[in-house]
C-alpha cells in the first residue's frame, strides 16, 4: 500500500484516480518533485481555475464556516438546470451574509427573450427555494454577457469584504472565475491556493485591490442531476452549447417521447395538444406509441434510442416513474434535472408521466419561457 501523499501546494491528499475530485494528479506527474495536484499546477502555470467537486457533507461544512465570516456570497446557478443546481439550504448556512444570485448560460435562451420576465421568474423560484437574495444577475460566462453588471454589483455589495463563489458542478463556475480573473487582471499579485480551514478543501484566492479576495470554492455534487449520473463522454450530448431550439410536438393521448435513452415522457390522458421540448440539440427525440414504449426501450436502448450508447446505457440507475396532472390553463414545465424540460401548454389539462433514472430530480414548475 502506497503512503498517502499531500500536495505541496494546497496540502490536499493526492490521488490518481478521479480527475474531477480534489487532489487529482496524473500518475506520471508523481515522479516530479515537489508533487502538486493538477489544480494547483494549472493555477500556478496558467493562472487558470479548474473545477473540482466535493460531496454534500463537506460542502455544507464549508458553507457553515463562510456563515461565520463577514463576506459577500455569489451563488452561481445554471439557467438550463435551475432547479437542479440551486443550493436550497444555502440561506441557513451563510447566515446574514448577502447573497448575489448569478444565473449563468443565458446564451442558451433565444435572443428575443424578455429578460425582465426571466429575472422575475428567477426571483420567484429563488424565494420558493428559501433563498433571500440581494440581486439577480443574468450572465453568460462563455459568451461574456452580463459581466459589467456583475462587476458593478460585486463592487456595490462587498463593502471591503471577501467574496465567496459557490455553486454546483457544471454550472460554469470555472468559466466565470476565469473571466473574473481576466477582469481583475491588472493585479500584480498571483493567484494562490490554500486549504480551507477545518476542511480538506483547497480554495483559489483571487486578490482584490483592497487586500481582500474572491474565493473560488469546490463545486458541490448533486446526484439528483442527470449530468452527474451520466458518463463523462455523454455530457456533451446533455449540456447544450447553442441556443435551445424548442421542439414542438402535437401529441394525442397514448403517445410517448424518448430523449435518447436518458428519459421518456408519456402523454397518458387528455385532448390532443402541443408539448414543447427544451433539451440539448445533441439529444435526439424519438416519438412512439405509449403501448410500444416499454418494448422499444427494452430492445433498442443504446442503438435507436441513444445516447447513451449500448455499453453505457445500463450503467444508469433503472428508471422510476413520476406522474403529474397538469391543470387546465396553467403554463407548466415538466422539468428533468440535467436534461431539460417539456412545457405543457395547458389549454385543456393533461395527465403525463416521466420515466427517468432513479434519483434524478423530476418536478413541475411555473414555465420559464
**Residues found near ligand GDP in the complex (CB under 6 A):** 51, 104-105, 107-108, 140-143, 167, 169-175, 219, 239, 241
Query: Least Å distance between CB 324 and ligand GDP?
Result: 28
> What is the per-residue DSSP string for 53-110?
EE-HHHHHHHHHHHHHS-EEEEEEEEGGGHHHH--TTHHHHHTTS-EEEEEE-GGGS-
- Closest residue by beta carbon to ligand GDP: 172
Residue with cell 441513444: 306
State the Cα–Cα distance between residues 181 and 187, nearest whole angstrom.
Answer: 9
| Distance between CA atoms of residues 349 and 326, nearest Å | 5
d(CA 65, CA 199): 10
Q: How far is the CB of 49 from ligand GDP (least distance, A)?
A: 8
To ligand GDP, the closest distance from the beta carbon of 281 in angstroms equals 12
β pairing state of 53-54 and 71-78: unpaired
Residue number, 221 or 354, with CB nearest to ligand GDP: 221
Task: Report the residue number, 140 or 364, with the smaller CB distance to ligand GDP.
Answer: 140
The three cell numbers of residue 208 are 482584490
CB atoms within 10 A of CB 5: 13
Closest to ligand GDP by CB, 12 vs 296, is: 12
In the complex, minimum distance from the CB of residue 180 to ligand GDP, in angstroms, rounded to a whole number: 12
Distance CA 100, CA 280 (A): 28
- Closer to ligand GDP by CB, 52 or 293: give it: 52
Q: Which is nearer to ligand GDP, 1 or 112 (CB)?
A: 112
Helix or strand holding residue 179 (H, E): helix 173-183
Partners of 19 in the β-ladder: none
Query: What's the half-sphere exposure (Cβ side, CA atoms, 13 Å) at 323?
Result: 4
Residue 22 vs 167, nearer CB to ligand GDP = 167
Please state the closest distance from residue 219 (CB atom) to ligand GDP, in A: 5
Q: How far is the CB of 82 from ligand GDP (least distance, A)?
A: 14
Residue labelled with grid coordinates 463556475: 173
Report, in Å, the least distance between residue 348 CB and ligand GDP.
Answer: 34
Q: Which is nearer to ligand GDP, 205 or 301 (CB)?
A: 205
Amino acid at each position: 500500500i502506497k503512503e498517502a501523499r499531500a500536495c505541496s501546494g494546497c496540502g490536499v491528499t493526492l490521488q490518481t484516480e478521479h480527475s474531477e475530485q480534489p487532489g487529482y494528479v496524473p500518475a506520471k506527474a508523481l515522479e516530479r518533485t515537489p508533487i502538486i495536484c493538477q489544480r494547483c499546477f494549472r493555477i500556478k502555470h496558467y493562472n487558470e481555475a479548474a473545477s473540482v467537486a466535493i460531496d454534500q457533507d463537506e460542502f455544507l461544512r464549508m458553507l457553515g464556516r463562510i456563515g461565520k465570516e463577514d463576506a459577500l456570497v455569489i451563488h452561481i446557478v445554471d439557467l438550463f438546470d435551475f432547479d437542479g443546481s440551486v443550493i436550497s439550504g444555502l440561506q441557513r448556512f451563510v447566515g446574514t451574509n448577502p447573497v448575489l444570485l448569478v444565473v449563468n448560460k443565458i446564451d442558451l435562451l433565444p435572443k428575443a427573450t424578455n429578460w425582465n420576465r426571466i429575472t422575475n421568474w428567477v426571483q420567484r423560484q429563488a424565494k420558493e427555494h428559501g433563498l433571500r437574495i440581494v440581486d439577480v444577475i443574468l450572465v453568460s460566462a462563455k459568451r461574456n454577457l452580463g459581466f459589467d453588471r456583475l462587476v458593478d454589483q460585486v463592487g456595490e455589495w462587498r463593502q471591503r469584504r471577501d467574496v465567496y463563489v459557490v455553486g454546483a458542478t457544471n454550472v460554469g463556475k470555472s468559466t466565470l472565475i476565469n473571466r473574473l480573473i481576466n477582469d481583475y487582471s491588472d493585479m500584480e499579485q498571483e493567484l494562490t491556493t490554500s486549504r480551507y480551514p477545518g476542511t480538506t478543501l483547497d480554495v483559489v484566492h483571487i486578490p482584490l485591490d483592497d487586500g481582500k479576495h474572491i474565493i473560488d470554492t469546490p463545486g458541490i455534487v448533486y446526484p439528483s442531476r442527470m449530468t452527474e449520473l451520466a458518463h463523462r463522454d455523454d455530457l456533451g450530448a446533455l449540456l447544450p452549447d447553442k441556443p435551445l431550439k424548442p421542439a414542438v410536438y402535437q401529441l394525442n393521448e397514448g403517445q410517448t417521447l424518448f430523449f435518447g435513452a436518458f428519459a421518456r415522457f408519456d402523454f397518458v390522458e387528455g385532448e390532443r395538444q402541443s408539448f414543447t421540448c427544451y433539451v440539448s440539440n445533441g439529444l435526439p427525440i424519438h416519438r412512439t406509441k405509449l403501448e410500444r414504449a416499454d418494448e422499444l426501450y427494452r430492445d433498442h436502448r443504446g442503438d435507436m434510442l441513444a445516447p447513451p450508447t449500448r455499453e453505457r446505457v445500463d450503467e444508469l440507475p433503472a428508471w422510476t416513474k413520476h406522474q403529474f396532472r397538469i391543470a387546465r390553463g396553467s403554463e407548466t414545465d415538466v422539468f428533468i434535472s440535467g436534461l431539460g424540460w417539456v412545457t405543457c401548454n395547458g389549454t385543456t389539462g393533461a395527465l403525463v408521466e416521466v420515466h427517468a433514472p432513479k434519483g434524478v430530480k423530476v418536478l413541475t414548475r411555473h414555465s420559464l419561457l
